[in-house]
Amino acid sequence: MTDPDVIVVGGGIGGLSAAYALARRGLAVRVLERAAAFGEVGAGIQLAPNCTRILDDYGLLDEAKALGVLPDAMIMRDAVDGTELTRLDLRDLERRYGFPYLVIHRSDLHAMLLRACERVGVDLRTSQHVTACANTADGASVTLADGRVEEARVVIAADGLHSVARKLIVDDEPVSSAYVAYRGTTPTASGRAADVDLSEVVVYVGPRCHFVHYGLRGGELLNQVAVFESPKARAGEEDWGTPDELDAAFAATCDFVRGGLPDMWRDRWWRMYDRDPIMTWVDGNIALLGDAAHPPLQYIAQGAIMAIEDGWVLGEQAARHLDGGGWPAVLAAYQAVRPEHCRRVVTTSRAWGELWHLDGLARRQRNVLLRERDTYDYAFVDWLYGPTALDPSDEPPMFTPIPLSSAPADALTGAGG
């Protein structure tokens, strides 16, 4: 390959899925990955129907199913007393939206996308540190740390939370939530993990903390995540989110949650940042994608999904517009539809995180309202789990929030004290 049609900066889940989406349309795509090898750090990831629909379109859904777990239910429990608050029937959810809810190891999803890129001839390059992106007379270019310059018709910046290309559009910084995540995976062959029901994705929501568990790799592993607000972060200290804070944050939670803390990897933790939404993602022939455009907090499990959707939309817009209006038309169509959807996801993720971590009266009001919810009420996910919009007119209406104050006062006793 000489100059490709497209350079994708970043070889994570977003970058590889975008590369595949464009390459399967016959475009010459080069991926520049900063690390010495392609790979993904972390543990589990949840893929809702708006993502598995795209994997099916790519011909990858059966492979993803074989690598992951198809749970039967998603359940929310109170982290203090362990009682159930609400649930989604994921089998019924699949019937409603036409595609399953899937949980999978991040590295397995990434490796699957890497193999797909190889099959369609994507030029995959590692140890490529991009330090700048710029528009040119005929397209766009990237400058690498060693001084080399590479050119393409367009550059897709999938370079994550600390994106270089984002600075072309806005001079902003990541926003710290003061929350930190610990993760761990445990074999299910014996011990505590052997007794956990892997047909469920469960989140325990507690005051300034929550705990998630679900199965991975066909049920061979139990994935667990512990998230909490760091007092050190709130105090402005540099060394925050440390293991001593982990144990303190969950001291008042139920036995099951506390029992999972020894399984956390204590030599690493993930501080949780997002960015304020921006409504412009395209600068000339350079477009942002994934966390470079819309890094969210993880509370509605849509971060990687939004990146996969971005790439799919780019591929679909290329199929629709490239022969007629060229890349300006493709990027304009992408710009017209994706920022508003992702703004909704980023802001809803923040609000959902606040809802999860309530204490006192607000926690009791939340618990009452969640227990009143019908299992088969999809009003709060229809805007999210349906088909990915290709035109702004396809974007479904948002849900209507329910005020905490609407919880009946006579129901608050025993709703979690």
What count of residues does the chain have?
A: 417
Tens-digit pLDDT profile for residues 367-408: 999 999 999 999 999 999 999 999 999 999 999 999 999 999
What does DSSP assign to residue 395? Answer: P
Give residue 342's pLDDT: 98
182-205 average pLDDT score: 96
Q: Indicate the Cα dihedral angle 92, 396, 362, 368, nearest 10°.
A: -30
What are the pLDDT digits (tens) for 332-360? 999 999 999 999 999 999 999 999 999 99
DSSP helix/strand/coil, 128: coil
Residue closest to 255 by CA, chosen among 103, 25, 77, 109: 77
Mean pLDDT of 199-209: 98
- Per-residue pLDDT of 87-123, as tens digits, reads 999 999 999 999 999 999 999 999 999 999 999 999 9
Choosing from 101, 214, 334, 378, the catalytic residue is 214
Report whether 388 contacts 99 (CB < 8 A): no
Predicted confidence band of residue 42 (pLDDT cuts 50, 70, 90): confident
Looking at residue 40, what is its pLDDT?
Answer: 86
The pLDDT score that the predictor gives to residue 186 is 95
Distances (CA, A) of 35 to 5, 39, 112, 126, 333: 23, 8, 18, 6, 32
Q: What is the mean pLDDT of residues 234-258?
A: 97
Q: Is the pLDDT reported for residue 142 higher than 80?
A: yes
Q: What pLDDT, on a 0 to 100 scale, did the predictor assign at position 1? A: 57
Mean pLDDT (the chain, rounded)? 97
Looking at residue 41, what is its pLDDT?
A: 79
- Please choose, from the candidates 103, 97, 114, 21, the residue with its C-alpha nearest in 3D space to the C-alpha of residue 64: 103
- Could you confirm whether 385 is annotated as catalytic? no
What pLDDT score does 417 carry? Answer: 55
At 258-286, the pLDDT tens digits run 999 999 999 999 999 999 999 999 999 99
Mind giving me the DSSP string for 176-223? EEEEEEEEEEEESSSSGGGGS-TTEEEEEEETTEEEEEEEEGGGTEEE
Residue keyed to tokens 């690493």: 268
Percent share of the chain, pLDDT over 70: 99
Rounded to whole angstroms, how far apart are CA atoms 359 and 25?
51
**Residue 137 predicted with pLDDT over 90:** yes
The H or E element containing residue 370 is: helix 360-372
